[in-house]
């Protein structure tokens, strides 16, 4: 391992991630592990320099106070404790210590080096993945989202041709998105990529389906089926690569913290797929994943891509999806993104997109009455997607976007700007 590590043992604090961030921001790599880790598991982590026992409000689980095993104190690493009156170590704090105190522990007590950076992280993960995988093969569903793209780039670096990527185009991607995945991974990084154009299959299944939950179920279910079909065609695959990142693990619940929502990567795998998992980003926060992508040479547009729901344009082509409305949506959305990029808003606005309801409105085009779709523009800012505020788009820019959409997408004759916060609205419409 290139980097020294401080291990945080989770004894029910709600601030494990805050502490891990604090330590990483001081230049030392830090990982959070469950309280019942064994000494052998600790030694196997390699380069551990010290341990912090992090207790807190979830410390009592099913009536039992969570403790670490006694030999953790005597296994040779410096140990301090936070919110842990019964800890058998000399140094104890009631609340998260200040930077000065943490620095003293890291550099004076543990003699850790401030060598946490993405270059070292990538080198460490490359080494670990090679050790885990050996000469066997890894399969990865490459959606083109930030996490799966970064994991793909890292695995290509680690094991080259032993990685098989499958990109399923469900026909609900944004304009040029699947093409970009092929360009970057097949043509530039020379990854072993299987591209499956399943557009017809998805759109046929979705025909006439207007209920949002039903649409989501069809898209999610079909996605897994297409992926499984591809997986079963391949031989000798032992591992499944996953773009699981640290917040996914936290939200799916730890031994002390409750489940917020079971995350697709963590909880939603079909049980009969017999693979071991390769998850090299599992310890990274989102901004660190992006930095890792840049370190691996991925294009900035891919790494700083705005969030995009798994069901894609399917939940923005409202009601029952029709092909002509889906195409109009794809074009209008591309225009909005282009204008936002030209105005520099792609770097500051969290999420912005077009949705199209399933009705037509009256308009006049070429001196004739005509029926056309209505494009809805939405642009929001948020920190955690639980609440969201509206981006106040400049009026001149709005007019330009309206002019372009109505001129370049003939089936759209109205554009509206939706300005409802979350709550009471959600970010997406379905
Ligand atoms: P809502 O609409 O619930 O969306 O306010 C919150 C955030 O989550 C995104 N979103 C999804 N992301 N799969 C995803 O990966 C999904 O099914 C999904 N649905 C919504 C949405 O774009 C917003 O950023």
- Predicted confidence (pLDDT) per residue in 271-329, tens digit: 666 789 999 999 999 999 999 999 999 999 999 999 999 999 999 999 999 999 999 99
Q: 323-337, pLDDT tens digit by residue?
A: 999 999 999 999 999
Assess whether pLDDT exceeds 70 at residue 213.
yes
Where does 5-109 sit in CATH, by number? 3.40.50.880
How big is the chain by its Cα radius of gyration, in Å? 25
Above 60 in pLDDT, residue 260? no
Give the span between the Cα atoms of 57 and 282, in whole angstroms.
Answer: 25
Output the CA 427–ligand 1 centroid distance in Å.
Answer: 7
Look at ligand 1, atom 11, and give the residue with the nearest C-alpha: 309
- Residue-wise pLDDT for 187-211, tens only, equals 999 999 999 999 999 999 999 999 9
Q: Which residues pair with 41 in a beta bridge?
A: none
Q: 261 falls in which pLDDT band (50, 70, 90)?
A: low
CATH number corresponding to 316-417: 3.30.300.10
Cβ–ligand 1 contact at 306 (below 6 Å): no
Place of tokens 């002509």: 324
264: pLDDT strictly greater than 70: no
User: What is the pLDDT, as a whole number, of residue 262?
Assistant: 55
Contact (CB, 8 A) for 7 and 50: yes
**Whole-model pTM over 0.75:** yes
Distance, in Å, from the CA atom of 272 to the CA atom of 110, rounded to the nearest integer, reads 45
Q: Give the Å distances, CA to CA, from 287 to 128, 225, 246, 422.
A: 22, 32, 11, 24
Which atom of ligand 1 is closest in space to residue 388's alpha carbon? 5
Q: Is the CB of residue 381 below 6 angstroms from any atom belonging to ligand 1?
A: no
pLDDT score of 325: 98
* Cβ–Cβ under 8 Å, residues 182 and 167: yes
**5-109 and 316-417 in the same fold:** no
**Which CATH number describes the domain made up of 118-303?**
3.40.50.620
The answer to whether 84 and 51 have CB atoms below 8 angstroms apart is no
Report residue 266's pLDDT band, with 50, 70 and 90 as the boundaries.
very low
DSSP state letter for 186: I
Q: For residue 428, how far is its CA from the centre of ligand 1 (angstroms)?
A: 7
Indicate whether residue 387 lines ligand 1 (CB < 6 A): no
**Residue 239 predicted with pLDDT over 50:** yes
The helix/strand/coil state of 69 is coil
- State in Å: Cα 35 to ligand 1 middle: 32
* Closest atom, ligand 1, to C-alpha of 311: 17
* pLDDT confidence band for 64 (50 / 70 / 90): confident
Sketch the domain layout of the chain as residue ranges: 5-109, 118-303, 316-417
Mean pLDDT computed over 116-121: 94
Show the tokens assigned to 71.
């030999």
SS3 state at 379: strand
Instruction: Check pocket membership of 309 for ligand 1, CB cut-off 6 A.
Output: yes
């Amino acid at each position: 391992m290139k980097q020294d590590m401080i291990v945080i043992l989770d004894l029910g604090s709600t601030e494990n991630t805050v502490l891990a961030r604090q330590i990483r921001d001081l230049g030392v790599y830090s990982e959070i592990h469950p309280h019942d880790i064994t000494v052998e598991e600790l030694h196997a982590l390699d380069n551990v320099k010290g341990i912090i026992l992090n207790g807190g409000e979830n410390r009592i689980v099913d009536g039992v106070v969570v403790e670490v095993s006694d030999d953790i104190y005597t296994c040779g690493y410096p140990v301090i404790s936070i919110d842990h009156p019964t800890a058998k170590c000399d140094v104890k704090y009631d609340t998260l210590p200040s930077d000065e105190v943490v620095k003293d522990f890291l550099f004076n007590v543990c003699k850790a080096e401030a060598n946490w950076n993405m270059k070292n992280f990538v080198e460490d993960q490359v080494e670990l993945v090679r050790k885990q995988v050996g000469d066997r093969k890894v399969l990865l569903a490459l959606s083109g989202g930030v996490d799966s793209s970064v994991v793909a780039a890292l695995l290509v670096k680690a094991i080259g041709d032993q990685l098989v990527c499958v990109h399923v185009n469900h026909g609900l991607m944004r304009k040029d998105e699947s093409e970009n995945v092929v360009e970057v991974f097949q043509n530039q990084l020379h990854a072993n990529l299987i591209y499956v154009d399943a557009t017809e299959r998805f759109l046929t299944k979705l025909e006439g389906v207007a209920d949002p939950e039903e649409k989501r179920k069809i898209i999610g279910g079909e996605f897994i089926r297409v992926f499984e079909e591809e997986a079963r065609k391949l031989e000798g695959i032992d591992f499944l690569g996953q773009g699981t990142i640290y917040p996914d693990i936290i939200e799916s619940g730890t031994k002390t913290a409750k489940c917020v929502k079971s995350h697709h990567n963590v909880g939603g795998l079909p049980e009969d797929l017999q693979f071991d998992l390769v998850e090299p980003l599992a310890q990274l926060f989102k901004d660190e994943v992006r930095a890792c992508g840049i370190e691996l040479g991925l294009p900035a547009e891919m790494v700083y891509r705005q969030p995009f729901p798994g069901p894609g344009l399917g939940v923005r082509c409202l009601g029952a999806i029709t092909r002509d409305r889906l195409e109009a949506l794809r074009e209008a959305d591309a225009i909005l993104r282009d204008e936002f990029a030209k105005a520099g808003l792609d770097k500051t606005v969290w999420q912005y997109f077009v949705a199209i309801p399933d009705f037509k409105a009256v308009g006049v085009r070429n001196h004739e009455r005509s029926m056309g779709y209505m494009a809805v523009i939405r642009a929001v800012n948020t920190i955690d997607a639980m609440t969201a505020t509206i981006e106040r788009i400049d009026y001149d820019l709005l007019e330009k976007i309206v002019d372009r959409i109505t001129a370049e997408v003939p089936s759209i004759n109205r554009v509206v700007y939706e300005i409802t916060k979350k709550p009471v609205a959600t970010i997406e419409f379905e």
